[in-house]
Amino acid sequence: MTKSAKRTAYLIAVHQRGEAVRVYAVLAQSVAAALAQVGELTTDDMQMEVVGSLGRDIVRRLGLKPDEMRPM
């Protein structure tokens, strides 16, 4: 029996000049994987940063699935 890889729900903020900051929750194995997933949707004039994480109970209540990205 193999154990599934541990995932963390990272909160990623996306900044774009003249726009409101958007925050996404991404359930990923690493910060790099979470940033890469959000980075696929951004353009060169946008900046991303990790602003936090979500606890296990909140992830369950949200029904966040592995490698899913959801706006908060």
Kindly report the pTM of this predicted structure.
Answer: 0.87
DSSP assignment of 51-62: EEEE-HHHHHHH
- pLDDT for the residue numbered 50: 97
For residue range 30-48, list pLDDT tens digits in order: 999 999 999 998 988 899 9
Distance CA 13, CA 15 (A): 6
Domain positions in the chain are: 8-71
Q: In angstroms, what is the C-alpha Rg of the chain?
A: 13
**In the predicted model, is pLDDT for residue 28 greater than 70?**
yes
